[in-house]
Structure 1
Amino acid sequence: MDDPSRTTVYYNSACPVCDAGIRSERGRLQGCDIRWVDVHQQPDAVQPLGAGLEDVRKRLHVVDAQGGLHVGSDALAELMAQSPRRRPLARLLRAPGVRQLVAAGYDLFAAVLYRWNRRRGHW
C-alpha cells in the first residue's frame, strides 16, 4: 500500500480462474489509477493488509483510495465501482438483501475454488 491515494487490488495469479478474472478487469479498467498486486509474485505484499497470504489466496482483497479494506464480494463491488459503466452494478451488489446473497454465493464459490486450487497445486 505504498500509494494510499489509489485503489490497490490484491489477487493470486497462480489460480487460473482468478488470473483470468483479473486480466479481464484490468482490460476494462485500463484508464483507471489502480495498483495491481499479484500475491503469487509478491507474497510479502499482504503484510500491510493485516491478512495472511492464504486469506488473500482465498478471497479478493481491495484497498480503496481512502484506505478502506474490502474483502470478497465487497472487494468485487469496489473494483466494479471504479468503472463508470459498471457503477450501477456495483450499487446493486451493495444493496441491502442483495449484498448478503451475493456475499454467500461468493464465499461458497471462493471456498470451492480454493480447495480446487490446493488439490491442483496452483500455488
Structure 2
Amino acid sequence: MANEVSRPDGTRPLTVWYNTKCPVCDAGIRHQKSRLIEAVKAGRIEFLDINLEPDALAHFGAGLDDVRRRLHATDEDGRLLVGADVALAVWRRTPGQGWIATLLGAPGIIVLTRFAYDRFADLLFAWNKRNGRW
C-alpha cells in the first residue's frame, strides 16, 4: 500500500487520505497540494483518494466512512492521525501556514480545535451523504 512505502532514505512521507467525492474536501486538498508542490515532488507528503483504496487503513480499524467523515493520515513513523491532527500536520509542512498549526495546536486550544473540526466534519459528512456523494 502507498502509506507503507518508504523513501530511499528509509523514511515515510506524511500520507493524507481524503474523500475526492466531497467537493469541499477535494477543493481544500487541491489548495494545500498547490502550496506543497516541492514537498509532494520530493515525496515528503502525499495525498491519496480513499475511494480508490477503501481498505487502505483497515489495519488501523478505519473504514471508508471513517475517512469520508474525517481526514486520516499516517505520519513518518507510521502512526495514524485523524481529523484536526491531520490538518495541523499539513499546516506545519505548508510554507506560510505553520503559524496556524502553532496557534490551533497550542495546549488548551487543541481541544477546541478538535471539537470544531469534528462538528464541521459531521455536518459535511451528512451533507455529502444526503447528496449521494459516494
TM-score, length-scaled by structure 2: 0.85
Matched, 1:92 2:112: no
- Map 1:28-67 to 2 at 5 A: 28-32=35-39, 33-67=44-78
Uncovered stretches (5+) of structure 1, i.e. residues with no partner: none
TM-score, length-scaled by structure 1: 0.92
Alignment partner of 2:28 out of 17, 21, 24: 21
Contact in 2 for aligned 1:37/1:45 (Cα 8 Å): no
Match of 1:78 in 2: 89
CA RMSD of aligned residues (A): 1.3
Which runs of at least 4 in structure 1 moved beyond 3 Å after TM superposition?
A: none
- Supply the distance in 1 between the matched residues of 2:103 and 2:37 (Cα, whole angstroms): 23
Match of 2:5 in 1: 3
Contact in 1 for aligned 2:36/2:94 (Cα 8 Å): yes
- Supply the distance in 2 between the matched residues of 1:22 and 1:105 (Cα, whole angstroms): 19
Percent identity over paired residues: 44
User: What do residues 28-58 of structure 1 show as CA deviations (whole Å, max 9, x unaligned)?
Assistant: 1111121211012221323243311111110
Change in 2 beyond 3 A, CA 1:36/1:48: farther
Uncovered stretches (5+) of structure 2, i.e. residues with no partner: 7-11
How many pairs are equivalent?
A: 123
- Supply the distance in 2 between the matched residues of 1:46 and 1:63 (Cα, whole angstroms): 9
- Supply the distance in 1 between the matched residues of 2:95 and 2:27 (Cα, whole angstroms): 22
- Supply the distance in 1 between the matched residues of 2:17 and 2:38 (Cα, whole angstroms): 18
Residue 85 of structure 1, CA deviation: 2.1
